[in-house]
Amino acid sequence: MARTPVVVKRRFPRPSELSALLRFRKPIFSPRRRRLHRALTIYDLRDIAKRRTPQAPFDYTDGAADQEFSLNRARRTFEAIEFSPNILRDVSRVSTRVKMLGVEHSLPFGIAPTGFTRMMQTEGEIAGCTAAADAEIPYTLSTMGTRSIEDVALAAPHGRNWFQLYMWKDRERSMALVDRAKSSGFDTLVLTVDVPVAGARLRDIRNGMTIPPSLTSKTILNAIPRPAWWLNFLTTDPLKFASLDSWNGTVAELLDSMFDPTITFDDLKWIRKNWKGKLVVKGIQNVDDAKMSVVAGADALILSNHGGRQLDRAPVPLLLLPEVKKKIGNRAEIHIDSGIMHGADIVAALAQGADFTWIGRAYLYGLMAGGRDGVDRAIEILSTQILRTMKLLGAKTVSELRPSHVKIIQSLKS
C-alpha cells in the first residue's frame, strides 16, 4: 500500500500569538522566598532545612529514639493508606474548617509543642505562634520552649495559645507555670505523660547535642557552609526557656534532672482540679490509659508516640485510633500526631475518626528552611494537600470523611 505523506502547512506566527506563549514568571528577588516558593512538599522543606542548619540541631529535630522504628513505622503506615474515593460529587466548594474543643479553626491541624525551637532557627516560637494565629489554627508552647509564656502571648494576642506541661519533681514550680499560662490567656493545658525519662536519642549523643550548642572542631567544620544560622544565633538574644533560666548539659540530662517519674493518674486528677480551662492528655498509647484519662477529667486525648522520640517500637497512633474511638465515643475528643508529613496523612486520620491532628517536625522543617515565611509555607503546603485530597475523595466537609474512605494495605505497612 502506498504511503500517504503528511503535509504540514507552515506560516510565520503573529506577534500577538508569541506574546501569549512567552509569559515570563515574575522574578522573586528575596532568596528566602525564592527557595520556599520552589518547595512543593514538606520533604522539600526538609531538604532545604538540612542544607541550612547545623547537624546537631537538625538531627535533634529529624531524629527519634534508639533505632527510630517508632517514627519509621508511623510514616510507613501513612504511606500504606489506600483511599476509596467517591465520584460524581459536587466538590466545587470544599471547607476544611473544624470545631475543636469549642472553637472553630480554619484547618484540622495545629502546631504541637516542640522544645528548644530557637535552636533550630532564631525566629523560633514567635514564628510558630504568629503563623498559627494568622492561619486560624492553635499553637502549643512547650515547657521546654525557648521563649517565655508572656513572649508568646504578646506576639500572638489573638491566637489560640495552649501550654504544654511536663510535670517536674518540683510541683510548686510546675504549677507556677500553669498559673502564668492562665494569666496570659492560654485556654488549654496539655499534659504530656510519656516522658518519665528521656528516650535514647542516639543522634543527639553522637552529635554531643548540648544546650546551648557546644563549639567543637566538629561543630565549627559543620557550620562553615551554614553561616546564616550561626550569624542569627550569635547576634540575637541568648536562648531562654519558657520554664527555666539556663542549662549547660545534654538534652537528655536536662529532662532526666527535671521530670518526675512518680506521676500517676492521681496527679492527673489533681491537675484537673487546679486547672479550670480545657485539659488535654498527650502521649496515650493504649485503650485502658485512654479510658482512665477520660475518667480523670481529660477533655481530649492525643494519641502519640512522641514522634518516635521516647519508647522505640511504640504503638502507631493511626492504628490505635479506631479502637480508642470505639471505646471512648463522645466522652472526649481524640486527636493524633506522630509521622504526619502530608495533607493526605491528616485526611486519613480524620477519616479514621480523629477529631484533630498535630504537626511537629513538619512545621519545624519549614522554620529551619525560612523562619516565619517557612512556617507559613509548611501550613500552606499541608492546607493545599488537604483540600485537594478531600476534593478527590468527594468530601465537601471534614464531617463527610468516613472510615470507608481509607484502607491500610498490610503489605506496604510491614
Report yes or no on 6 lying in a domain. no
3-class DSSP state of 394:
coil
Dig out the grid coordinates for 109 from the structure.
491541624
Number of domain units in the chain? 1
Report yes or no on 9 lying in a domain. no
Domain of 244, in residue numbers: 32-413
Confidence of residue 169 (pLDDT cuts 50, 70, 90): confident
> Taking residues 289-318, what's their average pLDDT?
96
Q: In this structure, are residues 110 and 141 in contact, taking their beta carbons and an 8 Å threshold?
A: no
Confidence of residue 28 (pLDDT cuts 50, 70, 90): confident
CA separation, residue 241 to residues 62, 279, 302, 307, 316 (Å) = 21, 23, 24, 22, 31
Partners of residue 102 on adjacent β-strands: none
Answer yes or no: is pLDDT of 163 > 60: yes
Report yes or no on 26 lying in a domain. no
Which one is predicted more confidently, 175 or 259?
Answer: 175
Q: In this structure, are residues 374 and 366 in contact, taking their beta carbons and an 8 Å threshold?
A: yes
> Taking residues 198-218, what's their average pLDDT?
76
Answer yes or no: is pLDDT of 414 > 90: no
pLDDT at residue 245, as a whole number: 53
Work out whether strand 103-105 and strand 188-192 pair parallel, antiparallel, or are unpaired: unpaired
- Which residues are designated catalytic? 306
Residue 321: name the closest of 78, 153, 47, 24 by CA. 78
pLDDT at residue 250, as a whole number: 61
Answer yes or no: is pLDDT of 248 > 60: no
Q: In this structure, are residues 159 and 151 in contact, taking their beta carbons and an 8 Å threshold?
A: no
Report yes or no on 1 lying in a domain. no
> Taking residues 328-347, what's their average pLDDT?
97
Answer yes or no: is pLDDT of 243 > 60: no
Report yes or no on 58 lying in a domain. yes
Measured between alpha carbons, how far is 308 from 237 in angstroms, rounded to an integer?
A: 31
Q: In this structure, are residues 108 and 389 in contact, taking their beta carbons and an 8 Å threshold?
A: no
Which pLDDT tens digit goes with each residue over 54-71?
998 999 999 999 999 999
Is omega for the bond preceding 15 within 30 degrees of 0, making it cis?
no
Report yes or no on 65 lying in a domain. yes
Confidence of residue 369 (pLDDT cuts 50, 70, 90): very high
DSSP state, residue 134 = H
pLDDT at residue 200, as a whole number: 86
Is the sign of the CA dihedral 175, 178, 179, 180 positive or negative? positive
Dig out the grid coordinates for 47 from the structure.
531538604
pLDDT at residue 413, as a whole number: 56
Report yes or no on 82 lying in a domain. yes
Confidence of residue 244 (pLDDT cuts 50, 70, 90): low
Q: Considering the chain, what is the average pLDDT of its residues?
A: 90
Measured between alpha carbons, how far is 138 from 131 in angstroms, rounded to an integer?
A: 10
Answer yes or no: is pLDDT of 320 > 80: yes
Answer yes or no: is pLDDT of 179 > 90: yes
Q: In this structure, are residues 204 and 251 in contact, taking their beta carbons and an 8 Å threshold?
A: yes
- Compute and round to an integer the Cα radius of gyration of the chain: 24
Report yes or no on 10 lying in a domain. no
Work out whether strand 249-250 and strand 210-211 pair parallel, antiparallel, or are unpaired: antiparallel
Look up residue 239 and give its amino acid: L
Supply the CATH number for residue 260's domain. 3.20.20.70
Confidence of residue 213 (pLDDT cuts 50, 70, 90): low
> Taking residues 340-350, what's their average pLDDT?
98
